[in-house]
Every structure is written in structure tokens, then in C-alpha cells.
């Protein structure tokens, strides 16, 4: 994106000429990641599952700001749809250098109330979805021979666990194991794989837990004393995607206000 923001960036943080796919970028953290990567100069593919309208609006915003973006709808849990979607991304952007596995859902329930169906739904999107995307994208990252990047959005809950979130925690802890394995496997080809673990970030996903009394209880547990923003998570992702992070792989970068140290 040839605007004043990217022009002022040091080369080590610039994403000029890079091509990125962000899954689940129609809303929340994914939307902020796509916006930030585009502002750093990357051409960005905005993936969504059902919310095409907001994804198209984001594309228009990025283009209006002088950036390059495209929109691609697919369900990350559907391996065939992922293969077709990433094929489209590669055709439209002319390649792929950066994959951000951000798409995710949460279904909270205490163990006794949880159902096998809920577990399957969470694992299908959060864990299998990231696996399908990494598997297909890796071929293109290898082909590009351009310091490829895989960045997986896990969660503080994957590191620490949380009552009522055993299904979600399992998916996010699994993602950390996957990230480290990919880091081992792909390092020889110059591709890094890292994870970001956000704490509580104000988005649709956390709407219920960051209101009223629940908010006060939550704030009491966060040393920095506030809920995080999607833009703060996006900054960490943009760093891991940049040349500045070229010697970092298999890392878990916490963006949690001190909630887990």
C-alpha cells in the first residue's frame, strides 16, 4: 500500500510486495489483522464464512486507503472448500507468502453440559480449519521461496485453561502443538510458524463476558487493568509477518495484558 503510513515504516517492518490470507477477517481480530497488514503494504485476501457484506466493506476500505485486497468466502472446516478458496487467493493475488489462521468460534459449557456435537464443531473450525489452511497454503509458500509465514491465533485459554472452556481450550492448545510442529517441519524451507495468544479482547466473541459485573471481575484479573483491542493483537501479527521477525519460529507471543505470565 503506497500511502504515507507504509512509506514511513522501516524496511524491516514493511510488508510491501507480500501477499497475505487472513481467515475469519470479516469481523473482530481478523478484520484488524487484515487492516494492519494492508497498511504495512501487503496485498490481503479477506476470508469470511457467512458475513460477505462486512468482508466486502473491509475490501473497499483497504482499497480506498490505497491498498490491495480481495475477498474470498469459504468455511475453513471444509477441506475441499479450503483448497478451492486458496487456489482463488493465489490466482487473484498472484501468490501467497503469509497465512494467518484466525477464524475461530467458541462454545462455552461446563463439562457436564457440554455435548459431543459442540466439541466437534469447535475442533472442526479452530483446529482442523487451521490444519487444512496450513496444509494447502504451505505448498504455495514453498513455491514462493520468499520467507513464508504461518501465524496461528490461539488463546490464553489454550495455555492456561478456563472453567467452562474445556472444548475451546482443547482446540487452542492443539493449535499451539501444531504451530511448533510446523515450525520444525518448515524451517528448512525458510518458512516460520508462530502463534499469538490473545487474552480478553473486545469483539463479538467476548461480548457477553465483558459486560456488567463480569467485566469488573475480569478486569480485576488483568494486571494492565483493561480489556485488549483487536488492533493490539494485529500489531503482534504484523510484527511476526515482517522481515524483523525472520529468526523467530515456534514462538508463542502473548498479547494478554499480563493475564498469564
Site residues for ligand NAP per CB under 6 A: 23-30, 47-51, 75-77, 102-106, 125, 129, 153, 155, 198, 200-201, 203-206
Q: Least distance (Å) from ligand NAP to the CB of residue 145? A: 28
Task: Give the DSSP letter of residue 125.
Answer: I
Query: Which of 15/100 has CB closer to ligand NAP?
Result: 100
Q: Least distance (Å) from ligand NAP to the CB of residue 10? A: 28
Distances, alpha carbon 129 to alpha carbons 139, 145, 170, 245, in Å: 16, 24, 14, 25
Residue carrying the nine cell digits 496444509: 135
Contact (CB, 8 A) for 213 and 229: no
Query: Which of 50/64 has CB closer to ligand NAP?
Result: 50
Q: Least distance (Å) from ligand NAP to the CB of residue 152? A: 9
Alpha-carbon span 179 to 100, nearest angstrom: 12
Active site residues: 168
Contacts of 37 (CB under 8 A, 6+ apart): 15, 18, 20, 22, 44, 98, 100, 234, 237, 238, 241
Q: Least distance (Å) from ligand NAP to the CB of residue 23? A: 6
Query: Which of 28/144 has CB closer to ligand NAP?
Result: 28
Ramachandran angles phi, psi of 38, nearest 5°: -65, -40
Query: Which of 82/191 has CB closer to ligand NAP?
Result: 82
Contacts of 159 (CB under 8 A, 6+ apart): 173, 176, 197, 252, 254, 260
Amino acid at each position: 500500500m503506497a500511502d504515507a503510513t507504509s512509506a514511513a515504516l522501516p524496511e524491516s517492518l514493511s510488508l510491501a510486495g507480500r501477499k497475505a490470507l487472513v481467515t475469519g477477517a470479516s469481523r473482530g481480530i481478523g478484520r484488524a489483522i487484515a487492516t494492519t497488514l494492508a497498511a504495512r503494504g501487503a496485498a490481503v485476501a479477506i476470508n469470511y464464512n457467512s458475513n460477505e457484506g462486512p468482508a466486502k466493506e473491509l475490501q473497499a476500505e483497504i482499497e480506498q486507503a490505497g491498498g490491495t485486497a480481495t475477498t474470498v468466502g469459504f468455511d475453513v472446516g471444509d477441506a475441499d472448500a479450503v483448497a478451492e478458496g486458496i487456489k482463488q487467493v493465489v490466482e487473484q493475488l498472484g501468490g501467497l507468502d503469509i497465512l494467518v489462521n484466525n477464524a475461530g468460534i467458541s462454545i462455552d459449557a461446563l463439562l457436564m453440559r457440554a455435548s459431543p456435537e459442540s466439541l466437534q464443531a469447535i475442533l472442526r473450525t479452530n483446529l482442523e480449519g487451521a490444519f487444512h489452511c496450513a496444509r494447502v497454503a504451505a505448498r504455495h509458500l514453498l513455491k514462493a521461496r520468499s520467507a513464508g509465514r504461518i501465524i496461528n491465533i490461539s488463546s490464553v485459554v489454550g495455555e492456561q485453561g478456563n472453567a467452562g472452556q474445556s472444548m475451546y481450550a482443547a482446540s487452542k492448545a492443539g493449535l499451539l502443538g501444531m504451530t511448533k510442529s510446523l515450525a520444525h517441519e518448515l524451517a528448512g524451507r525458510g518458512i516460520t510458524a508462530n502463534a499469538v495468544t490473545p487474552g480478553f479482547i473486545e469483539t463479538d466473541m467476548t461480548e457477553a463476558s465483558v459486560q456488567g459485573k463480569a467485566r469488573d471481575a475480569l478486569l480485576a484479573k488483568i494486571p494492565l487493568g483493561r480489556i485488549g483491542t483487536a488492533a493490539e493483537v494485529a500489531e503482534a501479527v504484523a510484527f511476526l509477518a515482517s522481515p524483523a521477525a525472520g529468526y523467530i519460529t515456534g514462538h508463542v507471543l502473548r498479547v494478554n495484558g499480563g493475564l498469564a505470565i
